[in-house]
Amino acid sequence: MEGLWQRTADRIRDSLGQVGFETWIGPLNFLGMQGRTATIEAPNRFFRDWVSDRYLELLRQSLSAEVGQTVDVKLTLGLAGSGNLHEPVRRSMSPAHPALAAPTAPRDRHPQLNERYTFGEFVVGSANQFAHAAALAVANQPGVKYNPLFIYGGVGLGKTHLVTAIGHHLWNSGKRKVLFMAAEYFMNELISSLRRDRMGEFKEKFRRVDVLILDDVQFLAGRERTQEEFFHTFNALHSERHQIVLTSDKVPREIPGLEERLRNRFEMGLIADIAPPDLETRVAIVQKKAARENMSLPADVALYIAQNVSSNVRELEGCLTRLAALASMDRAPVTVDFTRQALHDLIRVQDQRPGIEGIQKTVADFFHIRLADLKSKKRTQHIAFCRQVAMYLCRKLTDNSFPVIGEHFGRDHSTVIHAYNLIARRVGNDSAFRMSIEKIERELKVDQRAA
């Protein structure tokens, strides 16, 4: 039976992704089969109801596929106190990243690296999976793969966390000289060195490192002398196969005032983006921070925070810090009502979230097609593309599961999963397309306020 559940879990992980699986399926306990009924234990009532509403059909279909006949699923409650959300998955799992599984003995703390920003503390989801994989590759083979590595994305999404994690891993190996610096500080050091006539020391400092991590390189834009010096620094490091890691809020070609020669250098390696996290990833982030702070956080409270703070990771962490402080001062149990009261000035609860029907109508209007065609069986290229966009937004902006979304389009859940992954990849790789998706999202918000 253990083999059956392991194979079923692998199927579900492929559908939900690693974060969704670990958040909602990992804590479940497979008790066994009796006839054609599988009994699965949930850690608490909230968890059972959430899985029942959103993932029961996926569980049933995945188990049925492995058994070879239709299977019913019975969700039961575990003993009080069992199945903590922070416990590891009960199945034996190999390390996700073997190269990082056996940490080396750390050196003295690096003076420029935030000690909390490690790979172990980073929550991986669909929105940051590619950037995370690229960062791991660089940490394991600096100067060989992806040089330079250029990570871009909005404020508070984890760019600095990832590049700092690279720095920690290489620093702790004991063999690398790592320099981490914000681009603004690079400029200030250059100005100071010019003023004091110490350019020799400046060049020695920046061109003799094994790994240079420069955060927020968009601040180099428009500063001709700074860009010139960084151009020569970049060339010196790259020619010696020393690793360069850069972050920005935009892709290189969209940074105004950036010289063409620097833009070309930035684009010669790998460019990876980080997008806002989806709901499952946000829940996992809240839970991970709560565990790190030794804070007991009920699952419904983690979900409440994640549902109402969707812009970036920094705001999620800020809300949890505030909640922990107030709960400690008031000596009050952390409930949804207490959380709503404590965070009322930090989060704006969306009383009306866009529904599937509203998203379908907005997408149809945006692409100038009939709503009936969007929901029909038609498979012309344009209509199929618009339908995929609508499915992607339904998954991103609502709490509906893949099977529920599929029902509204007359498709099965695998079609919705394919559409979501397809559009998510294009959003990550095509900035013009991402702007179109963001415009649809803004129109949805306007429609909700008007309603």
Give pLDDT tens digits for 87-129.
333 332 333 343 443 444 455 667 778 888 899 889 888 788 8
Q: In the numeric block, which tokens belong to residue 272?
A: 């990876």
Assess whether 138 and 46 both reside in one domain. Answer: no
Let me know if residue 105 belongs to a domain.
no
Same domain as 214, residue 153: yes
Of 202, 186, 203, 188, which Cα lies nearest the Cα of 247?
Answer: 186
| Contacts of the segment 194-201: beta carbons below 8 A, 24+ positions apart | 194/225
| CA gap 59, 46 in Å, rounded | 17
Q: What is the dihedral of CA 406, 411, 413, 419, to 10 degrees?
A: -90
CB atoms within 10 A of CB 341: 12
Are both 73 and 125 inside the same structural domain? no
Is the CB of residue 109 less than 8 Å from the CB of residue 137? no
Q: Provide the terminal-to-terminal Cα distance of the chain, rounded to the nearest Å.
A: 51
Which CATH number characterizes residue 373's domain? 1.10.1750.10
Among residues 307, 342, 377, which one ends one of the domains? 342
- Domain membership of residue 351 (yes or no) is no
Q: Looking at residue 34, what is its pLDDT?
A: 87
Q: What is the pLDDT of residue 232?
A: 92
What distance in Å separates the CA atoms of residue 43 and residue 241, rounded to the nearest whole number?
Answer: 50
What tokens were used for 108?
A: 């003295």
On whether residue 95 sits in a domain, the answer given is no
Question: Do 225 and 157 share a domain, yes or no?
Answer: yes
Residues 137, 261 within the same domain: yes
CATH code, 329:
1.10.8.60
pLDDT of residue 29: 87
Global pTM reads 0.60
Using an 8 Å Cβ cutoff, are 157 and 49 in contact? no
Give just the sign of the alpha carbon dihedral 369, 371, 374, 380.
Answer: negative
> What is the distance between the alpha carbons of residues 357 and 195, in angstroms, rounded to a whole number?
63
Would you say the C-alpha torsion 219, 223, 229, 232 has a positive or negative sign?
positive
Mind listing the pLDDT tens digit for each residue in 396-417? 888 778 888 988 999 988 899 9
CATH code assigned at 193: 3.40.50.300
The C-alpha atoms of residue 177 and residue 171 are separated, in whole angstroms, by 7
User: What pLDDT does 95 receive?
Assistant: 35
Is the domain of 172 the same as that of 115? Answer: yes
In a domain, 103, yes or no: no
Shared-domain flag, residues 362 and 229: no
Token pair listed for 247: 């972050």
pLDDT value at residue 46 = 65
pLDDT of residue 427: 86
Task: Look at residue 169 and tell me if it is in a domain.
Answer: yes
Domain of residue 424 covers 356-450
Three-state DSSP at 340 gives: helix
Task: Mark whether 18 and 51 lie in a shared domain.
Answer: yes
| 91 in any annotated domain | no
| pLDDT value at residue 360 | 93
Read off the amino acid at residue 375.
Answer: K
The b/e string for 135-149 (b: 16+ C-beta within 10 A; e otherwise) is: bbbbbbebbebbbbb
Do 291 and 399 sit in the same domain of this protein?
no
291 and 267 in a common domain: no
The structure tokens listed for 442 are 């803004």
Please say which residue of 290, 320, 342 terminates a domain. 342
CB-count burial class (<10 Å; 0-12, 13-18, 19+) for 95: exposed
The position carrying tokens 């891993």 is 169
- Pair 333, 369 in one domain: no
Domain at 49, CATH number: 3.30.300.180
pLDDT under 70: residue ranges of the chain: 1-2, 19-20, 46, 78-109, 175, 311, 348-353, 446-451
Residue 21 lies in a domain: yes
Q: Please, where are the H alpha helices in 156-278? A: 159-172, 183-195, 199-207, 224-239, 260-266
Whether 87 is in a domain gets the answer no
**For the chain, what is the domain count?**
4
Mark whether 365 and 442 lie in a shared domain: yes
